[in-house]
Amino acid sequence: MERDQASKFINDLLRLLVSRAGSDLFLTCDFPPAIKVDGKVTKVSPQPLTGQHTLALARAVMNDKQAAEFERTKECNFAISPQGVGRFRVNAFMQQGQVGMVFRTIPRELPTIDKLGLPSVLKDIAMTKRGLVILVGATGSGKSTSLAAMVDHRNETAYDHIITIEDPVEFVHPHKNC
């Protein structure tokens, strides 16, 4: 599979994921591409991917730095934003000697603390002048989304400079007051 063909294949799958309001796309050797919608994983093709397919697909979404990291460590986390599709966090990994990837949808709209139904004390924490905020939880539990809501709250209500340390950067915050 050539790079252009691999990129088109992934972008088509990501469009399908977005159109079905899915959260994740799974690309694994010896298994058909699958998406998770409302907590349920569904195959989106009858054809399983080969090791050559998953390797070509990984190469298609990685830049040179990411490919070098993947080659060295056998895993890589990064974000991609295919034009007209959306933004996604990508986890590339080795599984039983073959490349696999999971793409997680990053919502386009920044969440708010109120819309997420989070405790209002998080607004106070977000406005604290100094300190460190650490959120922990299982995959998919809302850590990144909660932090994004806190950053957005501060961005709207304070006149400061905000620095986040993320790898990869997930939510992209527009300049508001900060």
Q: What is the pLDDT of residues 78-101, one digit of tens each?
A: 999 999 999 999 999 999 999 999
Tell me which residue range forms the domain holding 92. Answer: 3-106
Residues 178, 129: Cα–Cα separation, whole Å:
13
Which amino acid type is present at position 34?
A: A
Q: Which of 17, 25, 18 is nearest to 54 (CA)?
A: 25
Look at residue 167 and tell me whether its pLDDT is greater than 80: no
Residue finishing a domain among 75, 106, 137: 106
Q: What is the pLDDT of residues 136-158, one digit of tens each?
A: 998 778 888 899 899 999 999 99
Kindly give the pairing relationship between strand 87-95 and strand 24-28. unpaired
**132: which DSSP letter?**
-
pTM of the model: 0.80
Same domain, 87 and 45: yes
Which whole-number Å values give the CA distances from 164 to 4, 169, 173, in the listed order? 34, 9, 11
Residue finishing a domain among 106, 125, 159: 106
Residue finishing a domain among 106, 137, 163: 106
Which whole-number Å values give the CA distances from 103 to 44, 76, 80, 137, 160, in the listed order? 14, 12, 9, 19, 33
Pull the structure tokens for residue 70: 């993947």
- Residue written as tokens 């900060």? 178
Same domain, 149 and 165: yes
Look at residue 170 and tell me whether its pLDDT is greater than 90: no
Q: Can you give the pLDDT at residue 172?
A: 82
CATH code, domain carrying 76: 3.30.450.90
Q: What is the pLDDT of residues 97-128, one digit of tens each?
A: 999 999 999 988 888 999 999 999 999 999 99
Task: State the total domains in the chain.
Answer: 2
pLDDT above 90 covers a percentage of the chain that reads 72
Residues 112, 30: Cα–Cα separation, whole Å:
40
